[in-house]
Chain A
């Protein structure tokens, strides 16, 4: 079985698994990192949203064999380590707005929100309603209103 190596939440991990197993299952089933959730397996619900090299991606749709040794994967578990303090400002905003209901989609929502803020920064602009409308992460509890409020707060403190 091929040997796979990549960087996960700041640490290099190596394991034996076939190239075509999607990263979501490597994280969840083999490494026990369960923050990224399964909601569809076809990159439409976005519950597994995590970061690769600082940008949002969906590990359900990436083969582990396609990750390079130096690729840095960050899941919700590693998000706070990318900043000073116990929590990332976006996580704090989520707490302040008490966004979560069942909580299942929220790790993916937060990771998507952080990536969105970084993206608009790269584009030298601030978040618009159209950006918020464009977020594809589903929340079946319907926490959208508070997600929008939290992203605006989190963005101010990022």
Chain B
């Protein structure tokens, strides 16, 4: 969907917007998002790829527009303002950045702004999906407009009470003062500013040059709760009667229960109250989770094998190889050129990426209280409307009989786009006729939870006379599940159409709208093929980009080498976007690119462009035996990334401190993907069952030196941050590893085919017992 690059859409260039004062007993202000569409990507020379002109974020933002006028900021009589954000906080810091936007426009101290998470609101249609690092991009303007409308209403109310005109009044720090010194607080005005009937108000937004909150580093608004243990996640909630509940699952992936043979014995166990067979396994509800674990371990269950019973990694690799499309033939003109040029050479890179788990610390969990005619759900949900509608379907209830509360979650990394825990909890609660607090055991979360699909990425680049003439990439993947749709049931159903074709439409769209090769490499093509819907997958942090960009950047290094050029200089010479060149230069300078390093160590450098921003990463890796030979109990050492310099340009930055934090997190994800983290499929199940098997980056892997450079920007539009740290880091570590070892890795993570560093835990029973020796291990 290319868009005319010369046309600036209505509402972008101006700061004047229409909002509403909504009827209420205290001041409620609403925004009209229809005027707030962000500018399209800047024009670029050459033939642009679709993502350069119209990307995934444009689609998500535009999909959110028609209903955004329902987003409201409320001012209370205690002088605080509140806002129920129709997005999901999973650690990315959006409650903080949203509070900052409101504090800025409303002229209220940050600590007086309360941001909560909105319950599922089906009337929001496409406007309650958290994904694609889109939150700030799509909500930046409407939230500010709502806050500005509130401020305007407060000023008007103050003008009436003080007998002055609005123009001479000044709003600051929650107080409106008149030239004569008279003052009224927002709290005192909250009722007076309220209206019985809605009214449209035109407001002017602050010029970014006047920002005093936005753009300054602020600590998270929930930090104090987090460090005192007060922050509540789904399993911390106290819901009457909702006892601990867990599920005994099949020994093979996605196997199903036939029957529980010893139900009587299980029901007689200490603490056990209820048992129910549901489609995903055998659920048990008990006084404590420990007693649920004991019950699961004692269950004798007959199972139906899952759909990949008997299969292993190699079988899936074979399947992907068979599904790979041949690289497209080069066009005639390039073909002729090559035909005439005996010096034309080809560089080919073929990379395999194994399954990875997105396993958040907070496992799939939910509280469900299902009664005969209604249901209430509490869970961490990034697509709560789809969850509500699917749960209603499953329970045989109307949508308005199902109330869904969105709770903050302990991480997501894409996992909570789905609502596996909430749906399962609802079914169990219905089957038992009791409220339940469902928690997945870590072993289940690791083995049966969603993750990143296995994929292959093949790149062929042709160069001659010091120029790259063609760059072709074919990406082939086990299906990425997008059946959550765009956050509501219509697109979720479309994505769920039989034969996988509906989902494929989503995959292709997301791929097309996110992938981009920002180099002047002549004829560029990137294609996606997806196959096999039998695995539990989803949009793991940064979706396709980490794999696609890693294969791409490894190819760029090979091209540089083939032409006898330095990897940094080569990138610099071929990049076609000034912002990307600027981040590349920033890391090369700060990271002292090209410094002499001992044998067995190396630097790597890579770039990435997505989410209306761009990033570059420089890493140093130590692959010498004293690092790789480290003996770590229940963990892996391997090569160590000793230093990372990361530069990020997201355009307008709301909270640089939060942005830095997101990049630090993405850096550790990138390192994990390159070096240590993967799932091994053996004989129909994944081997990894906990953190002593699945080697996400740990303190002994994390770089001792990390520098994040937040690029200054004069852009008026923010970009996405939550996922932006992963791809460039993964690619840079891969390039550094290739340079340290002299070999381009054929697969990632590089340790996947090493001897297993752990003894796989049993599949029957499916969860391990808790140890009892903790008092001997104190320190």
Interface residues of A (CB under 8 A from B): 17-18, 20-26, 28-30, 32, 34-45, 47, 52-53, 55-63, 66, 75-77, 80, 87, 91, 94-95, 98-107, 110, 115-116, 119, 129, 132-148
> Given the complex of chains A and B, what is the CA–CA distance between A95 and B657 in angstroms?
12
User: A87: shortest Cβ distance to chain B, in Å?
Assistant: 7
Q: Are A40 and B690 in contact (CB under 8 A)?
A: yes
- Digitize B410-433: 1 where CB-to-A-CB distance is under 8 Å, 0 elsewhere: 111100000000000000000000
A41 proximity list for chain B (CB < 8 A): 289, 293, 441-442, 767-768, 770
Q: Which of B91, B226, B706, B771 has the most CB of A within 10 A?
A: B226
4 more A-B residue pairs beyond the given contacts A101-B661, A104-B360, with a C-beta to C-beta distance below 8 A: A95-B219, A105-B410, A136-B635, A145-B706
Q: How large is the interface on B (under 10, 10 to 19, 20 to 34, 35 or more residues)?
A: 35 or more
- On chain B, the residues within 8 Å of A57 by CB distance are 774-775, 777-778
Q: List 20 A–B pairs whose Cβ atoms lie within 8 Å, in order of A's numbering.
A: A21-B271, A21-B291, A22-B772, A25-B288, A29-B290, A30-B287, A38-B235, A38-B439, A39-B362, A55-B779, A57-B775, A76-B228, A94-B226, A100-B222, A102-B360, A106-B226, A137-B699, A140-B411, A141-B665, A142-B702
Interface residues of B in 650-669 (CB under 8 A from A): 657-658, 661-662, 664-669
**Could you tell me if B90 and A102 are in contact, using CB atoms closer than 8 angstroms?**
yes
Inter-chain contact B229/A42, CB cutoff 8 Å: no
CB distance from B753 to the nearest CB of A (A): 24
Contacts of B410 in A (CB 8 A): 37, 102-105
A34 touches B236 (CB 8 A): yes
Residues of A within 8 A of B412 (CB): 102
Q: CA separation between A32 and B235, bound complex, in Å? A: 11
**Once bound together, how far apart are the Cα atoms of A119 and B412, in whole Å?**
34
Q: Is the CB of A106 within 8 A of B360?
A: no
Q: Closest CB of chain A to B649's CB: distance in Å? A: 20
Known: A41-B441, A44-B692, A144-B699. A103 touches B665 (CB 8 A): no
A146 to B217: give the CA distance in the assembly, Å.
15
Cβ of B697 < 8 Å from any Cβ of A? yes
A21-B290, A44-B634, A77-B228 known; A105+B361 contact, CB < 8 A: yes
A52, B775: Cβ atoms under 8 Å? yes
> Which one of B238, B293, B691 lies within 8 Å of A138 (CB-CB)?
B691
* Shortest Cβ distance from residue B703 to the other chain A in the assembled complex, whole angstroms: 8
Q: Is B773 interfacial (CB-CB < 8 Å)?
A: yes
Known: A34-B236, A52-B778, A134-B699. A104 touches B361 (CB 8 A): yes
Of the residues B91, B360, B772, contact of A66 by C-beta under 8 Å: B772
User: Is B648 an interface residue, CB under 8 A from the partner?
Assistant: no
Q: Give chain A nearest CB distance to B727 CB in angstroms.
A: 15
A102 to B: closest C-beta gap in Å: 3
Cβ-defined contact, B691 with A44, below 8 A: yes
Q: Which residue of B lies closest to A144 (CB)?
A: B702
Query: Complex formed: what's the CA distance from A76 to B699 in Å?
Result: 21
Residue of B nearest to A100 (CB): B226
CB B568 to nearest CB in A, in angstroms, measures 24
Known: A30-B288, A60-B770, A143-B665. A102 touches B271 (CB 8 A): no
- Least CB separation from A137: chain B residue: B699
Q: Which residues of A contact B691 (CB under 8 A)?
A: 39-40, 44-45, 138
User: Could you say which residues of chain B place their CB within 8 Å of the CB of A44?
Assistant: 634, 690-692
B664 touches A142 (CB 8 A): yes
Residues from chain A with Cβ under 8 Å of B172 in the complex = none
* CB-nearest residue of chain B to A116: B779
A60 cross-chain contacts in B, Cβ below 8 A: 770-771, 774
Q: Across the interface, do B770 and A98 meet the contact criterion of CB distance under 8 Å?
A: no
A34-B232, A103-B225 as given contacts; A146 in contact with B361, CB under 8 Å: no
B270: Cβ under 8 A from any A Cβ: yes
Pair count A-B, CB < 8 A? 239
| Of the residues B223, B293, B669, contact of A98 by C-beta under 8 Å | B223
Q: Separation in Å of the A57 CB from the closest CB of chain B?
A: 5
Q: Which 6 A-B residue pairs are closest in the complex by CB-CB distance?
A: A35-B229, A104-B410, A102-B91, A142-B668, A103-B226, A61-B774
Contact B774 A145 (CB under 8 A): no
Residues of the A chain whose Cβ atoms lie less than 8 Å from the Cβ of B698? 136, 138, 144
Q: Nearest Cβ distance between residue B446 and chain A, in whole angstroms? A: 9
Please state if B442 and A39 are interface contacts (CB–CB under 8 Å): yes
* Cβ of B93 under 8 Å from chain A: yes
In contact, A87 and B227 (Cβ under 8 angstroms): yes
Query: A24, A39, A66, A105: which has the most chain B beta carbons within 10 Å?
Result: A39
Does A45 contact B773, Cβ atoms closer than 8 Å? no
A135 surroundings in chain B (CB, below 8 A): 699
Within 8 A of A (CB), among B248-295: 270-271, 287-291, 293
Q: How far is the CB of B572 from chain A (nearest CB, A)?
A: 28
**A106/B227 in contact, CB under 8 A:** yes
Is B511 among interface residues, defined by CB-CB distance under 8 A? Answer: no
A41-B441, A95-B223, A145-B702 are contacts. A140–B413 as well, Cβ < 8 Å?
A: yes
A79 to chain B: closest CB distance in Å?
8
Task: Give the nearest-CB partner of B667 in chain A.
Answer: A142
| Shortest distance from the beta carbon of B367 to any chain A beta carbon, whole Å | 13
- A140: chain B residues at CB < 8 Å are 359-361, 411, 413, 696
A45-B691, A141-B411 are known contacts. Are A102 and B777 too (CB-CB below 8 A)? no
* B227 in contact with A95 (CB, 8 Å): yes
For B238, what are the chain A residues with a Cβ–Cβ distance below 8 Å? 32
Bound state CA distance, A80 and B767, in angstroms? 35
**Which residues from B are CB-within-8-Å of A107?**
226-227, 229
Q: Is B371 an interface residue (CB 8 A)?
A: no
CB distance from A129 to the nearest CB of B (A): 6
- B211 lies within 8 A of chain A by Cβ: no
Question: A40 vs B774: C-alpha distance in the bound complex, in angstroms?
Answer: 14
CB within 8 Å for A98 and B657 given contacts A42-B771, A45-B442, A133-B700:
yes
Question: Known contacts A26-B288, A77-B229; is A39 also within 8 Å of B361 by CB?
Answer: yes
Q: A21-B288, A138-B361, A141-B665 are in contact. Are A103 and B228 (CB under 8 A)?
A: no
Chain A residues, CB < 8 A from B706: 145
Give the CA-CA distance A98 to B244 in the complex, in Å.
32
B224 within 8 A of A: yes
Interface members, chain B 758-774 (any A CB < 8 Å): 767-774
The answer to whether B411 touches A102 (Cβ under 8 A) is yes
- B774 to chain A: which residues have CB within 8 Å? 23, 43, 57-62
Contacting residue for A102 out of B409, B657, B669, B700, CB 8 A:
B409
In the complex the two chains form, what is the Cα distance from A115 to B703 in whole Å? 23
The listed residue (A38, A47, A145) touching B664 by CB distance below 8 A is A145
Q: Assess whether B233 is interfacial by the CB under 8 Å rule.
A: yes
Q: Once the chains are docked, how many angstroms separate the CA of A53 from the CA of B779?
A: 10
Shortest Cβ distance from B591 into chain A, in angstroms?
16
Least CB separation from A131: chain B residue: B699
Q: Are A24 and B778 in contact (CB under 8 A)?
A: no
